[in-house]
A and B are shown apart, each in its own frame.
Chain A
Amino acid sequence: MGATASGPDARANVTMDAAERIATDAKADAAVDTVEGIAADMKALSHPSRRQFCIAGGAAIVLAGTAALGQMTHQQADAVYVRPPGAESEASLLAKCDRCERCVQACPYDLVQPRPLSFDIPTVGTPEIVYKAGFCDFCMECVRVCPTGALSWDAPTVSDIGTAKVIKDACVAWAWEGCRVCVDVCPVEGALTLDERGRPQVNETLCNGCGLCELECPAPSLRAYDAAAAEKGIYVVSRESAAAAQPGALTTEQFETGRFVRAEGGLR
């Protein structure tokens, strides 16, 4: 009766056996197993679903286009960002992160934020560190919750996410002496000291990029606003960046042009 269920007779008394019809077809369709089901879909290519195949083809082209555009902008930007602890490299983070935003939710100090949409399209939504509301105490919450391995315990960055750079023309101590806020707050012994002229200098081997100095730097409130100078006197940058590759304190220009740019020969 499974064979007649879809015939015209069955349709005539559909009221009587609607439930049974589902029943019989469930049985008949039991033969249509997963793979055969897809094969059946393939066969049905002829009539209504041809349009769906056109749509699928169109979607495939759009996907390929997105990939090409993304790849092109990503290579051209060749950018580096300060990432949460445990990011092995830009490439590894980008390949593994599915933007589940768990790390963003986990960070107790709102440090981890999804990257905004920029010229570097594929990085949108992946986590970067923004020292606006706090600094990193390496609590490792972000690494602990990441389900994809984009942030992993094995990466060297679990205890070092970047390095601080003093900005000569923005740091108050470089202009007049006297300010030592960053040196006082730095939690890492010896990472930030005053040189013989009272200016902060970073020991880049010791600095771990926690960002407390950047967070606490009072330069914006001590100095008159100057559009040509960076806002703060000290910033944390990625160790792969061109800014980090230059020794000592930077000018605002060096900082701004090198902050998100990969240094020559930097880890990809």
Chain B
Amino acid sequence: MNRMRYLRIGIAAAILVAVFACAIAHVSIGTLCALCPVGFAEIVVASGSLPWELLPGVVAVLAVVFLLGRVFCSWVCPTSLLKNVFGGKTPRGLTGRSGSCAGCGLGADPNEGRIRNSLAAQGIVLVVLLVVSFIVHFPVFCLLCPIGLVFGTLFAVSRMFVTWQPGWELIVFPAILVLELFVLRRWCSAICPLGFFFGLAAKARSRVGFLPGVRVRAASCKHAEGCDVCTATCPENICAATATARDMEDCTLCFDCREHCPSSAITMKPDFATSKAKRSVDCSDDRDH
């Protein structure tokens, strides 16, 4: 059934296990914080120095988002992992998935009613966290960041094996996580400042139309006949059939729509067609598949 979801759980969990195993094997790969653009910015303002050695990792992650889309969110981020494991059908809860498409029956474009990731809201959070980090001279957001809290819990466990003294964070961190992810369900769409950077990279990539992403083969898509499977499965509530490039910026390449599309109309292949004037020719080629 939810093959893709299990695959995502597997990959994100494997990353956590690998980081934990490296703590035991003394391989210093670091947590995802070693790749984090927000952590980088926080350190710059809190300490007034540039952490040069963080830069390659940060740039690499943003480059991956630029080339592949927001894959980090679906496939790597422990936040999505928790939502995939505990969140049932709402892996990245915006409003939660309704399981049906509000617009389809009414003839309206479902993408018009969907709640987009709000770069502006995430940007406000980013600016505020940088200002407060500057004032108090430590990276404030890291104390609340779900990614940091997941790894914090993980390392509290690894410390326990050395000191045999469990710390309070073993209770407090998971409690904050539950609050953030399952009570405040809009974390990813309106708060996460990492999402701001990823959103910028996704905007940049949507300007270069040909990079790989979700495409709908018009010939096989049954949206006009009332099919709403892609919208109903999409954790971002994107209706792939009618999505604009701007809607697609929120796509995390979870591949759920592709897995569930009854007429296999969704492909992920790089679409050189859309960037050039000759696209209509290529599109008709597409329909032959």
Quick check: A133 and B162 within 8 Å, CB to CB?
A: yes
In this complex, the member of B39, B133, B136 whose beta carbon has the largest number of chain A beta carbons within 10 angstroms is B136
Q: List 24 A-B contacts (CB under 8 A).
A: A18-B223, A23-B209, A26-B209, A33-B207, A41-B116, A49-B121, A49-B190, A52-B121, A52-B186, A53-B120, A53-B124, A60-B128, A64-B128, A94-B137, A95-B138, A96-B51, A100-B39, A101-B23, A114-B152, A114-B159, A118-B168, A125-B142, A133-B162, A149-B49
Q: A19-B218, A28-B245 are in contact. List 15 more A-B contacts (CB 8 A).
A: A15-B225, A18-B216, A18-B221, A23-B279, A25-B244, A29-B244, A37-B249, A53-B120, A56-B191, A100-B30, A102-B34, A105-B27, A105-B29, A132-B163, A141-B28
Min CB gap B163→A, angstroms? 5
> Which residues does chain B contribute within 8 Å of A91, judged by CB atoms?
137
* Residue from A13, A107, A110, A114 within 8 A of B156 (CB atoms): A114
> Which residues does chain B contribute within 8 Å of A96, judged by CB atoms?
43, 46-47, 49, 51
Instruction: State A6–B247 Cα separation when bound (angstroms).
Output: 13
Main secondary structure of the interface of B (DSSP, over half): helix
* Residue from B120, B128, B156 within 8 A of A45 (CB atoms): B120
| Number of A-B pairs, beta carbon distance below 8 Å | 283
Instruction: State A26–B49 Cα separation when bound (angstroms).
Output: 39
Quick check: A23 and B246 within 8 Å, CB to CB?
A: no
> Which residues does chain A contribute within 8 Å of B286, judged by CB atoms?
19
B207 (CB) vs chain A CBs: closest residue: A30
In this assembly, does B274 line the interface, its C-beta being within 8 Å of a C-beta of chain A?
yes
In this assembly, does A66 line the interface, its C-beta being within 8 Å of a C-beta of chain B?
yes
Number of interface residues of B (CB under 8 A): 102
In this assembly, does A103 line the interface, its C-beta being within 8 Å of a C-beta of chain B?
yes
> Which residues does chain B contribute within 8 Å of A6, judged by CB atoms?
244
Quick check: B36 and A98 within 8 Å, CB to CB?
A: yes
Min CB gap A84→B, angstroms? 12
Instruction: State A13–B225 Cα separation when bound (angstroms).
Output: 11
> Which residues does chain B contribute within 8 Å of A74, judged by CB atoms?
138
In this assembly, does B96 line the interface, its C-beta being within 8 Å of a C-beta of chain A?
no
Main secondary structure of the interface of A (DSSP, over half): helix
List chain B positions with a Cβ less than 8 A from chain A.
22-23, 26-31, 33-34, 36, 39-40, 42-43, 46-49, 51-54, 57, 107, 109, 113, 115-116, 118-125, 128-129, 132-133, 135-144, 148, 151-152, 155-156, 158-159, 162-163, 165, 167-169, 172-173, 184, 186, 189-191, 200, 203-204, 206-207, 209, 215-218, 221-225, 241-246, 248-249, 271, 273-275, 279-280, 283, 286
In this assembly, does A148 line the interface, its C-beta being within 8 Å of a C-beta of chain B?
yes
Known pairs A100-B33, A102-B28; A148 contacts B51 (CB<8 A):
yes
What 0/1 readout, one digit per residue, does chain A (112-129) give for beta carbons within 8 Å of chain B? Answer: 011011100110110000
Instruction: State A20–B120 Cα separation when bound (angstroms).
Output: 29
Number of interface residues of A (CB under 8 A): 83
List chain A positions with a Cβ less than 8 A from chain B.
6, 11, 13-23, 25-30, 32-34, 37-38, 41-42, 44-45, 48-49, 51-53, 55-57, 59-60, 62-64, 66-68, 70-71, 74, 91-92, 94-108, 110, 113-114, 116-118, 121-122, 124-125, 130, 132-133, 141, 145-149
